[in-house]
Structure formats: C-alpha cells, structure tokens
Chain A
Amino acid sequence: MMFTWAWVLPLFPLIAFVLLIALRDVIEKRLAVALSLIGIGVSFGFAVYLAWIGVFQQSVIQTAKYQWFSIGGKPLYLDFMLEPLNIVMVFLVSLVSLLVQIYSMGYMKDDARIITFYAYLSLFTSSMLGLVISANLLQIYFFWELVGLCSFLLVGFWYFKPEAKEAAKKAFIVTRIGDIGLLIAIFMIFQKVGSFDLRVIQDAVGSGVLTGGALTTVAILIFVGAVGKSGQFPLHTWLPDAMEGPTPVSALIHAATMVAAGVYLVGNLFFLFAGSEVALTTVAYIGGFTALFAATIAVTQNDIKRVLAYSTVSQLGFMMLGMGVGSVYASSFHLLTHGFFKALLFLAAGAVIVALHHEQDIRKMGGLWKHSKWLSIPFLIGCLSIAGIPPFSGFFSKDEILYAIQLSGKKDLLVIALLTTFFTAFYMFRLFYLVFAKKSREKHEVHSIPWSMKVSLAVLAVCSIVGGFFSFPTTNLSAETITHITKLPGHAPLWLNGSAVGASLLGILLATFLYVWRQGSAEGLAKRLSWLYQVSYRKYWIDELYQVVFVSSLKVVAWFLNGFDRFVVGGIVRFVGWGTMSIGRLGSMMQNGQNQTYVLVSLIAFLILFVSLVFGRLIG
C-alpha cells in the first residue's frame, strides 16, 4: 500500500507549536491547550490508522520521497519509512504525548506559562515523530538534534530555578558529545557510500562496499550517539539531573521521546550492527553494565523522581543489552512496554508530588495507600510491570530479552541481567513501600487529583497490563525492508522464566522485609555497609569525576589560551602598533592636527576623485 502522507505525522504538532508560540500573549489558555491537543490528536489518529494497516493487516507500506537540497551537486531526498518498528514508535510517541498533554491540563494549570509549555510539548512530539519515520541519515540527525533542543527547553522550563538551568545545560552538552559520534559516522558513511539514504547504505553493506573495520567503526560511532541520547554509561549523567523539569516532561522524556531515540536508532540501523561482531559485543556489554550500574544507584536514592530516573537508565541498558545480543524484536518490545509503564510510573509519581504539595523526598512520605486508590493502584501496576511479574507487560518483554541473551550463549550477561532484575524489583518496591505503605512521619493534607490526570493514568495502567499479550509486530521478510524484526525461535525454557520471576520475587521480598516487616532496619543496614552505601548514594562519584576531568580541564585550557591570546598574540600586535605609532609621532611633529580630520578630508577628496572619474567617463 502506498502512503504518501508520512510527512503529515510531524506536521500537525509543528503547526500547533508555531501557533502557540506566535499567539501566546493573545490567545486564551484553554484554546491554546485545545489547539495543542488537536495537533497531537491528528497525529495519533494517523498512528492508529497506520497501525491498523501496517500491523494488523500486515501490509507493506510504501512512502514517497521528495527532493530536498543538494550537496556538491548531489541531490538529497526527504525520505520516509513506515515499517513495523516505525509504526510502533509512531503509535507509542503519539499516544504517550497525547496522554501527557491531557495530564498536563491538570498538572500545569496554575503555571503562568502553560501556553509556552504546551508549545514545547508539541515541538517535542513533532521532532520525535519526524525522527522515527525518517529513512535518511541526515534527516534523522536533523530531528535527533531537535529532540535534544526540546528536552533542553523543557528541562529548563522553570528557567528561574538555578538547578533547572544547570540541568538543561548539562542535558544539551552531554547528549551533544554523543551526537558528534553520530555526526562523524554520517560523514564516514557519506565518504564510503556517497549517500545518506538508508536503503542505499543497506545495499552498500550487503554488496561489501561498507564492511570490516569501517563498518565496525561506523556502527560504534552510531552507538556513541545512542549512548548520549539514551543515557547509557558513561554519558548517563544528564538523565537524573533532567528531573528538574516538570514531571509530565520527565514522563515524556523517559518513556516515549528523547531516551527512546537512542534505542530506536540502534534498532532501525541494526543492519549496520549485524555485520560486526565487535560492535554488537560493545553494545551488549555497555548495555549490560549500564543496566546493573544504574540499578545499584537507584537502590539508595531518596528523591522519588531520581529513583525512577535511574530505573530508566537501567531499563534502557537492558534494551541495549538485548540489541547487543542480536534481538531487535525483544528490545523493541521492551521499549514499547517500558514506554507504557514508565510513563505510568512518572505520571503517578507526579500525582503523588502534587498530592503532597510538591514534596519529592520519599523519606518524608508514607501511608498514601489509604488516601487515594487513584494514586496507589496505578503506581503498583507500574511497579509490578517493571519488576517483571506475570502477567504484567514488563514480564513478557523482559522475558524475551533474557531468552535472547540465553540464545547468544553469553552466560556473564545473563547473570548481569538477572541481578539487574533482582535490584529492579528491590528498589521499585522500596519506593512503593516508602511512599504508600509505612506510616507517614509528617501529616500531609492530601490534594485531590483532577480528572485529566486520572484519565491518563487509567489508560496507561490498562496498556501496562495488556501490553504484553500483544506480540511485537515482525517484518514481512519477503518485502524489501530496512529493519528485519523476527521472533526468537521457540519459547524461553521454563527455568529461565522461573529464575527471572524468582529474582524479582526475591527483590520484592527483601524490600518487604526491610521496609514493612522490620521498619527501620534499612538504616541499620546502610550503616553497617557504610562504604557500599556511600558508593551507591554518591552515584560512584561520576559527576565529580567529570567535573574535574572535563569541565575543570576545559577551564584551565581556556585560562591558558586567554593569557596566550592577550599577551602573545596581542603582544605582537602591540609591538607592531608601537612601532607604527612611533613613526607616526615623528611625522606628527611636523603637522599637529586631529587625525580624524585628516582622514575625513582624504576620504572626501577620494570620493570626489572617484565619483568624477566614474561618472565623468560614463556620461561623457
């Protein structure tokens, strides 16, 4: 089937953005929100339609391409692709964006700049939709950077908060380090292949134009880009800080947009990775390490949003691990289910924060279970899902990743994955118990939750429950496609299912023991394992390390060059200048007047000469 309308997907949210920014001072708030919802609503409508055609009817969707501009005489095209992976991403992005926008009607209703907020949200959605349907590397990079811009704008939305300002800056710069990897990969591909077109590049890989060391380098550089965007070690530091943005933004960034982009990119360009064992191994180990590393940090954090942030880093690492062992299917499936339950967890956490008058420290929370089922049940669903308890969606997708690892035969990675599962269950239920179970130390008057927030929570909760029963769409292998998504052969053995669920239950059990049955024993344990606790609580001192190694060294270099510029480069100038001045002084002993006058006089004389010469000749 031919669908030449791919470009309208990002268009409507973009129009909403332009209208809202242009009219933000004159338009009424409700109208602005409505416009924004219409923009994303139209995109969501298209997404449902595409999902119907492309996933349920399994027809291959062809798209049109348009001439864009030319580089060095070579024409470039705007090119789109709507293969199952793209359609699923379009669906996820537009659904979560729509729900986040509905949710924000309640969450942000008292903010004076709500129109700007909706404008940025729309731009974010538009960029992300553009990204996931692009079939051209330059086009991908274009939207890739716009996604980065939007996260910068939204993380720093409360621009007057110094922390928000720093977090926004960090998000932009750290992800840009990764982007340079992607950029160099693009240069390299263009040099070897002479095109940005994914189809052409795929052919080049197939026909042996791009192979061996070059292919490995390209794949790893692209992965560097993904590492930046998806918060993988060692470029993960921006993600937890990005929590300074309003909570709906966190949900959007962590579930459907920004961070999903990296995993999506690896999945979409998997044909580059597939040809290089080294690249795949790199992806797998970086992913596995990040998964475990972030999970161990999440265990000791006290800010509700930071716990969730580290859990995102960890889960993204899990997805990368899945990619690295060769299963786009398993990882994309987890990307989808994670999109649902992470959005749910963030939005529920946002509701908790609102209900408790903007309290984010979980040590000061507690006993919310009784207060509001609208908070506690969605949150519990999210926790069960991320912990991988059947039949919640996280169980199914996590299971596929574990199975993929087992099939790859990398035992060490399997151990890492199971350990991560254990830690994940533990910190999520630690969070759950601290917020909902134990008695509150401080009396809170709990706010009621507006309907808009309830709607979003309910939809996401349903998705988190049933999401796992749909299997991820696979590509029609007889058609010419860029991404090949195939199911794993057979089913995971029972012992694997058993140990995964067992690890989760063990984690939940430990959390229950420490935070419900023996309340207060956690502090004692932290004291006894003081150095371990510190390592985790201080996040392995990575931030401090970067501060010293990169930021300070740049400052030192800058300081040094500043002196060089002033005294060496500038010194030569002064010396030459002094020489000229001395000669000038010698000359001016004979005539004393103002230099400016002289210049003016000579200018006028020059002009007269010039004009008369020119026009005299032309006319005469």
Chain B
Amino acid sequence: MNALQHWLLSLIVFAPLVGLLILAVLPSRKTSWHRTIGLLAMLPSLALCIYLYQRLDNGASGLQWTQKVEWFHIGEMKLFYHLGVDGLSAIMLLLTASISLFAGIASLYITTKTKLYYSLLLLLEVGVLGVFASQNLLLFFLFFEMTLVTLFLLISGWGGLEKKKASYMFLLYNGFGSAFLLFAIVGLLAFTSTLELDQIKAVFAQVDLGGLPPEATTFVWGIFLSFMIAFAIKLPVFPFHTWMLKVHVEAPPPVVMIHAGVLLKMGAYGMIRFGAGLFPTLFAQIATGLMILGLIGILYGAVLAFSQKELKSVIAYSSVSHMGILVIGLASLTEAGMQGAIYQAVSHGIISALLFFLVTSLVERTRTTELIELGGLAKQLPILSGLLMVGAMGLLGLPGLSGFVSEFIAFLGVYQVNPQIAIIGSLGFIIAAAYTLRALLKVTYGQAVTRFQHVQDIQVREWLPMLLLVILSIWMGIDPDWIGNQLQQTIQIGG
C-alpha cells in the first residue's frame, strides 16, 4: 500500500511509455496492432486516475499521493522529482486520461505512419499528465515543452492542407509562451532559490509584497505577468487566439480533441496554480482587466463563430468564447466564479472532445466541413446527427448538459462582484444559440444533398465512445457534485 501511495502518480504519468516501447519494436506495416497497443497503453493511466480520484481525501488540505525524490543538484541547490495532486490536479488528470483515450479511439481513420502517430499520441498524454502532476517547476516546464513538441509533430505530420503553416504558427506562439514561462521560472528561482512549488508558496506567504523595495516589486510583477502571458497564450485569451484557430482547423480532428479538450486547459490550470495561487494579491489587482479581456473574448468569439463558413472554425471561435467565460469566472475571485471556471474547463473538455469526434466521423463521410456544401444529413446519418444535436446543445449551454452548470456558476460568481460584466457577457448566451443553431441546422436539417445519398451512418465503434462522452456531459450537468466535492480546497484558495 505504501509503495503504491508513493508510486501511483508516477505510474499514471509514465504508464503510456510502456506502449511506446512496444510500438518501437513493432513492424511499421501492422497498422491495426499499432492502434491496439496505443489504446491499451492508455488504459492503465485511466484506471489509476479513476482509482486516485475516488480515493482522494476531500477534506484534506495540501497535496496527496506525493512522491518526492531528490533528483540532482546544481551547486548548492537540490532539485526534486516531486509529484503530487490536489483536487484540481486530480480532476485534470482524470480529464486528460479519459480524453486521450477517446482521442485514441477517434483516431481510427488515421492510416498513414500509424506507428509514429500512436507513439506521439502516447508521448503527448505523458506530457499533459506530467504537467498536471508536477510539483516542481523544472519538471512542470519539461512536461509542458514535451506537449508542445509532440503536438507540433502531430500537426505537421497528419494535419490538413495548411498543416505546415498551422504547425509553425503553433510553434511560434507557444514558443513565445514558453519563453515567458521560462523567464518566470528562472525569476522565481532567483527570488526564492527553489523550484519546489510548496516552498515557493511558503516564501510568498511570508513576504509582504507591499513592503518590498521598488526594484523587487517590479521583479515580482515581472514574474507574475510572465506567468500570466504564458498561460494567456495557451488558454488562449483574446487577442492571443489566432494560433488556436489554425490548430483547430488544420490539425487532425482526433488530435484537436486532446488539444481543445485538455491542452488549452493547461492555460487555465497554470493561471489558477501559478497566477492566483502564488500571487493572489497581484492577481486581484489585474482581475478587472482580465475580466474585460474575458468579456471581449466571449462576445468576440461568439460573433465571429456566427460568421464562419466552415464547421471547424465555428467550433474554434466558440472555444474562444467559452474560454472567455472561464477567464471571467477565474478573475471574479469568488468561490462560485472559481468553481465555474474549473467546471468550464472540464465541461468544455468533454464537449469539444465530443464535437471533434463527430467532426472526425463527419469528414470521413462527406470529405468537407464547408457549411455551404453540407445539408440534410439527418436523413442519411440519423445517429451522427442526433449526437451532433446533443453536442450543439452542450455548446450553447442547455441545462442538463455540463456546459450549463459551468457557465451558470461562473456567471453567478461574476455577477456578485461585477454585475455589468455578467450582464453584458450574458449576451453571449444569445449569440451562442444563434451560431450553434446556424451551424447545426445547416449541417443536419434542410433538404438532403444528393452527393451524400450513399454515405453510411456511424457504427458502434464510433457512436459508443461518443455516447459515453454524452453521458459524461449529462452526468456532470445533472449531478455536478462528483467534481465539485474534490474541488472545495482549490476553490477556497482562490476565494
């Protein structure tokens, strides 16, 4: 038991590497084997994440399931391999493990270079899991970079027509983000002489930021803002969203499931963990500005989603809008707002995964996502259309699905501190209905397009995982406490 206590997180994070090793020795022609191994290798992490989540002690403050081993030292300074979780990390780990598996399942139409593809997918999973489990900043940074490189390769290797451009734009933006992140980490190291998250937190808890000399204040602000910019690019916060649109449209849809479902949430996680968590007073000072950026994102994304001519772009801009809701919830610094923001991260993860899974299956059948070329698919593809309807309802925040709970709670929190922003932001709900229905009805309603007369509806291996995602969304929409209970500690830190 004790060994498991220590090793559980490492097992979760590195279990997919077993699959990587097996894949390495497989011949490159055996496509179906690659897929099987890839999927199997994702299962242990998921199972262990579920176990961990259930066994999490809701009442305990601080980290659980920690593993801290001395790693190496540079001069006097010791660096630790330190993993650990609280409620927030645990829910993000669970989300990552499940969305990765769903993305793996959705990859069934990837037929080229499958060996490399599944290897990269596994590496990506390791990276994201590592990000959410790390309690040491160097470790965090390494995992963070790992996701960046693997995603770059996945986009450039299996993307759409403009994959080159998209992958470089991705690298460029996230490279900038990483630079800020690195600067912040080095700055913290200089300021606190440690990279251990809990020790840094302890240092800042004792420092009176108001009483520092001006240079030091500037320095701390610099660190804080670097963190915020790095994660604002990742989330993305308006106006840093351009790269994300390109990735949504050009990356292979199963990879977008992970990208939209989990990777963007690293931005939210970082803001909560490092922004609000380490620098609560500074965070409070920029909160109003952040809220305004979030508000712009909500409306800007929604209006643009309304004018897109292509399905993936609609979803991409809607992500900008939904991440805006996350930002205003976070920046409200209320318990409800924080809870809503985290819920939004999870809910958006589930719903985007569902939508891009559907897009995967749709593209395979229609070979296009241009809205003008689609229409009346409900006749030929009733199951796909039905699930698309559910996904769309999730997107526009219908009660009963996860999106409503998260958005409602976030707005409730925002209203408590800034009613104007909540009221203006709620216009987003109307525009969300407009852009979602416009796209949905264009695809599935109306006269059937003759070109698609012979397409086959989706099969069990596609609709069953989609249905699972739907059930997850409904479960969270009706009984959100299964997430909320684990989050009490995190929410209170923010509040």
Contact residues of A with B, CB < 8 Å? 21, 68-73, 138, 141-143, 145-146, 149, 156, 159-160, 162, 164-165, 168-169, 172-173, 176-177, 179-180, 183-184, 187-188, 190-191, 554-555, 557-559, 561-562, 565, 569-570, 573, 576-577, 580, 596, 599-600, 602-603, 606-607, 610-611, 613-614, 617-618
| B307 near A71: Cβ-Cβ < 8 Å | no
Q: B318 within 8 Å of A by Cβ?
A: no
29 sample A-B contacts, Cβ–Cβ < 8 Å, listed by A number? A71-B412, A72-B409, A142-B399, A146-B400, A159-B446, A164-B445, A168-B445, A172-B433, A173-B433, A173-B437, A176-B429, A177-B430, A183-B411, A184-B423, A187-B411, A187-B412, A554-B306, A554-B431, A562-B304, A562-B307, A569-B239, A570-B242, A577-B172, A603-B149, A610-B146, A613-B72, A614-B81, A617-B71, A618-B10
B491 in complex: contacting residue of A72, A169, A557, CB < 8 Å: A72
For B431-469 the 0/1 string (1 means CB < 8 A from A) is: 101100110010011111000000000000000000000
> Contacts A70-B484, A176-B429 given: A603-B150 contact, CB under 8 Å?
yes
Q: Which chain A residue lies CB-closest to B243?
A: A573
Interface size on B, residues (CB 8 A): 77
Task: Note all chain A residues with C-beta closer than 8 A to B339.
Answer: 71-72
Docked complex Cα distance between A17 and B156 (Å)? 45
Nearest-neighbour CB distance to chain B for A202, whole angstroms, equals 20
Count of chain A to chain B residue pairs whose CB atoms are closer than 8 Å in the complex: 164
Q: Which of A68, A141, A187, A577 contacts B422 (CB 8 A)?
A: A187
Contact present for B304 and A72 (CB under 8 Å): no
Docked Cα-Cα span, A611 to B130, in Å, equals: 13
A146 to chain B, nearest CB (A): 6
Complex CA distance for A603 and B434, rounded to whole angstroms: 44
Residue B288 is within 8 A (CB to CB) of chain A in the complex = no
B434 / chain A contacts, CB cutoff of 8 Å: 173, 554
Q: Are B400 and A183 in contact (CB under 8 A)?
A: no
Say yes or no: B71 contacts A72, CB within 8 Å: no
Q: Are A180 and B429 in contact (CB under 8 A)?
A: yes
If A176-B430, A596-B153 are given as contacts, then 11 extra A-B residue pairs at C-beta distance below 8 Å, sorted by A number, are A69-B479, A72-B335, A145-B399, A145-B404, A160-B448, A172-B433, A183-B411, A190-B415, A191-B415, A606-B145, A607-B146
| Structural contact, B304 and A561, CB atoms closer than 8 A | yes
- Residues 12-51 of B contacting A (Cβ, < 8 Å): 17
Main secondary structure of the interface of A (DSSP, over half): helix
**Contact in complex: A183, B437 (CB < 8 Å):** no
Q: Nearest chain B CB to A134's CB is how many angstroms away? A: 12
CB atoms of A599 and B445 under 8 A apart: no
Asked whether, in the complex, the Cβ of B413 is within 8 Å of the Cβ of A561, the reply is: no
> CA–CA, A172 to B398, complex, Å?
11
Contact A599 B153 (CB under 8 A): yes
B74 in contact (CB, < 8 A): no
Question: Quick check: A617 and B438 within 8 Å, CB to CB?
Answer: no
Query: Which A-B residue pairs are the 7 nearest by beta carbons?
Result: A72-B335, A558-B307, A72-B336, A187-B415, A142-B399, A165-B445, A69-B481
**A160-B447 in contact given A73-B335, A614-B81 (Cβ < 8 Å):** yes
Chain A residues with CB under 8 Å of B149's CB are: 599, 602-603, 606
Residues A613 and B441 in contact in the complex (CB < 8 Å), given A180-B426, A187-B422, A561-B307: no
The winner among B123, B306, B399 for most chain A CB atoms within 10 A is B399
Residue of A nearest to B444 (CB): A159
A160 touches B445 (CB 8 A): yes
B53 contacts partner chain A, Cβ-Cβ < 8 Å: no
Q: List B contacts of A190 (CB < 8 A).
A: 412, 415-416
Given contacts A190-B415, A191-B416, A554-B303, contact A73 B433 (CB under 8 A): no
